[in-house]
Structure 1
Amino acid sequence: MPRRFAFLAAALLSLWSLSARAQDAQPSTCQAIAEAIPKATFASLEVEPPTWLAARDAGEVAITFVQHSTYLIRSPAGVTIATDYSGFSGDTVPRIATMNKAHSTHYTNHPDPGIEYVLRGWNPAGGAAHHNLSVDDVLVRNVPSDIRNWGGGVEKDGNSIFVFETAGLCIGHLGHLHFELTDAQFAAIGRLDVVMVPVDGGYTMSQGSMAAMVERLQSRVVLPMHNFRGRMDEFLGRLPDFAVERIAGPTLTLSPKSLPKRPTVILLDGV
């Protein structure tokens, strides 16, 4: 058996094993495949993985750029998620809000009381935050990462990469990423069909380092965020093998069948 098919077979066995033993937390389709193939770069998969609660429903996901690092995700069942929520998510009060703490533009201490689930990317009590939440047709989980603190040192687990699995898609938001991801973090994140990436080149990571992370992930859709004037063209220039598409309006609708054939940076209005 060719080596890559052996790896995929191992991945599928890992998926079924997770399904059988998981009790408290929903297994992650995106993560299990990555853990079975360590250090892999996911350009494509030739075998469709099994799907569970978080990805079983057909339909399209709508992703709307709101501001700065806030995107509003709407699942086929109507579950709404605001990423790096700082108190504003457009005309919609989301059902789920994720937050990160590096800057006040990525969190709020006073979230709208109508939000059912507020998920902080850090643990106020200390240590790492751990989230694995199933809501209707959505699974939300996180992968902690370190940040620089205001004194110039390192604050362990101060940021989270949030992953949203719905309608057969794996959607990731890198948050306020300060350091290049390790092999272990790539494995924990797993395959990402869509990734939301800060492109400022200074407050988070250098554009060269961020582009290297994007190239390794090989997501079919890259959605820039955390953009400052004049930085977008420089970021795009660091991804010469990626297509670039500009869409009129702030909203993108996606399904597994409508993903572009090659990795594509998609620019929505306002970004």
Structure 2
Amino acid sequence: MFRLFAALAVSLAASALGSAPSVAQEAASRCLAVANVAPRIMPAAFIPIQDGMERPQAAAVTIRYLGHSTFLITTPEGVTIATDYNGFAGGATPRAVTMNRAHTSHFTESPDPAIEHVLGGWNPEGGPAEHRLELGDALIRNVPTDLRSWGGGTRIPDGNSIFIFEVAGLCIGHLGHLHHLLADEDLAFIGQLDIVMVPVDGGYTMDQSAMVETLQVLKARLILPMHYFGQTTLNGFLTRLGETFAVEMSDGPDVTVSAATLPASPTVLVLPGY
């Protein structure tokens, strides 16, 4: 319940920014603000175009799929962030990395010392990890979720984090090693995602039907599958999508997207690993 109150408080603070004095303050979450606006209110990123006006060029973010659960996000200002970093970032040295602890393929105990910010999705001292990092034109925050034990009978509270990257007017979520359906409290703290990176293995995380249900609740417009172990597993997930989602196959590991170029309807884009 505390997370729900916190999410609503952040959203209310965001909606009041228009009348607030011009002072230095913590960046508000666009994802939370958009999730709580009335349907008829236009998001701040939307600019109506009148006849004769030149359409502005929207800032774009580039996402490269490096394989397994690792994506390299590059912001318009050139900030680089690697998700579920296990020591490999495609030859780059990201400015920030996120990690989860379900398996060693999702973290490393010896990250490159040149990385400025290493954000673990768990708290070694117990309790939830709490991250809110403003880095250049990006805001990185997390929403803790639980893990289950190898036997499946024991729940490990706050063992995983969904990391959210707010950049270029977009809300990008990485579900990490998600093991359970999201509660209303989780959804309130996540906010409205535009892009989501989702594990689709169907075994180590959640079964594929439950993951499709999660996507239907999140309502992101661009879905990037990850954490699958071959074409058969991926095809099984794609088959379960039904007619709710369009499916596109990319020839390369990169996608560049802006708020203006998001798909009009929920679309699954399969990126081959880098």
d(CA) in 1 for partners of 2:187 and 2:77?
Answer: 29
Gaps of 5+ in 1: 1-10, 38-44, 52-56
SS in 1 for 2:185: helix
TM norm structure 2: 0.85
**Cα separation, partners in 2 of 1:46 and 1:70, compared to 1, 3 Å:** farther
Question: Which residue in the other structure is 1:30 paired with?
Answer: 31
Residues 157-236 of structure 1: pairs in structure 2 closer than 5 A? 157-229=158-230, 230-236=232-238
Structure 1 residue 80, shift from structure 2 partner:
0.3
Residues 1-271 of structure 1: pairs in structure 2 closer than 5 A? 15-17=14-16, 20=20, 25-34=26-35, 46-50=40-44, 58-150=58-150, 152-229=153-230, 230-240=232-242, 241-270=244-273
Deviates more, 1:231-240 or 1:249-258: 231-240
Q: Percent identity?
A: 52
The one-letter amino acid of 1:169's match is: L
The one-letter amino acid of 1:237's match is: T
**Cα separation, partners in 2 of 1:87 and 1:35, compared to 1, 3 Å:** same
Q: Which has the larger radius of gyration?
A: 2
The one-letter amino acid of 1:28's match is: S
Structure 1 residue 49, shift from structure 2 partner:
2.9
In the alignment of these two chains, the number of paired residues is 249
Structure 1 residue 178, shift from structure 2 partner:
0.3
Q: Deviations over 1:106-161 (max 9, x none)?
A: 00010011110000000111110011110110000000000012454111000000
TM norm structure 1: 0.86
SS in 2 for 1:111: coil
The one-letter amino acid of 1:116's match is: E
d(CA) in 2 for partners of 1:23 and 1:147?
Answer: 38
Q: Deviations over 1:81-120 (max 9, x none)?
A: 0000000010211001000001110000100111100000
d(CA) in 2 for partners of 1:28 and 1:18?
Answer: 11
d(CA) in 2 for partners of 1:164 and 1:265?
Answer: 19
**Cα separation, partners in 2 of 1:260 and 1:33, compared to 1, 3 Å:** closer
**Cα separation, partners in 2 of 1:160 and 1:60, compared to 1, 3 Å:** same
Contact 1:35 1:188 in 2 (8 A): no
Contact 1:215 1:239 in 2 (8 A): no
Query: How much is the aligned-residue C-alpha RMSD, in angstroms?
Result: 2.3
Contact 1:15 1:50 in 2 (8 A): no
